[in-house]
Amino acid sequence: MSIELTDSLKAQIVLSAFGAAGPGATDDQVVQQVSRITAFLQDGSPALNAFDRAAQRAENTTQVKGFQGDVLFVDLEASSNRPIVFLRTQPSEHHPDGIEVVRLDRTDSADGERVRELAKHATNLIGHRVGVTVAVEKANGKNVRILRALEDRGQVSDLAGYDVSNGHTLINWQETSKAKIAPKLVRLNKAAQPA
């Protein structure tokens, strides 16, 4: 992605540089900010790479879905470096026990900081009802659901007192799909270790 520096864009950059340099800035300080801003407009810059990743994600996204659930537990799947959120929803054909598992992007990806923040947000919402937004993305020939956002809708009375230290006790780890995940989870396996 290459950006043409038109006169209009140059004017916007200079005005942004004045703002970034702050009140009373010298001409040299403004010029430093212009250099900083234009560096972000160069091919291969972290800023333009972020736009490329967003375009790739949009191309791979086949659907965006929203639903409601109660956050029970959040853990990290060691084998993939993906945080996983366990949500209590209504029992369904795909989730007969009413527990849905939603993964986030990898923590070691270019978007790792955003992923860690979303995982921390989910952890802080254990015991809360949330609005959930997931993107269905194509990956390795399969559709996968990736958590994009959580909206707090308040504490759930029967989940009061649960947090990251004990939320795992709300999940039947013997159920087939959970039994496959359990050995890969960092916090769950630490909790299972004798003191």
**Structural contact between residues 41 and 5, judged by C-beta atoms closer than 8 angstroms:** yes
Residue-level pLDDT at 44: 84
Residue-level pLDDT at 2: 65
Residue 129: how many other CB atoms lie within 10 Å: 19
Which pLDDT tens digit goes with each residue over 152-173? 999 999 999 999 889 999 998 9
Q: Which amino acid is at 79?
A: S
Residue-level pLDDT at 145: 87
Per the document, the length of the chain is 195
Low-confidence ranges of the chain (pLDDT < 50): 195
Rounded Cα gap, residues 74 and 69, in angstroms = 13
Residue-level pLDDT at 14: 93
| pTM > 0.85: yes or no | no
Bridge partners, 133 (sequence order):
66, 149
Task: Name the token pair of 172.
Answer: 């039947």
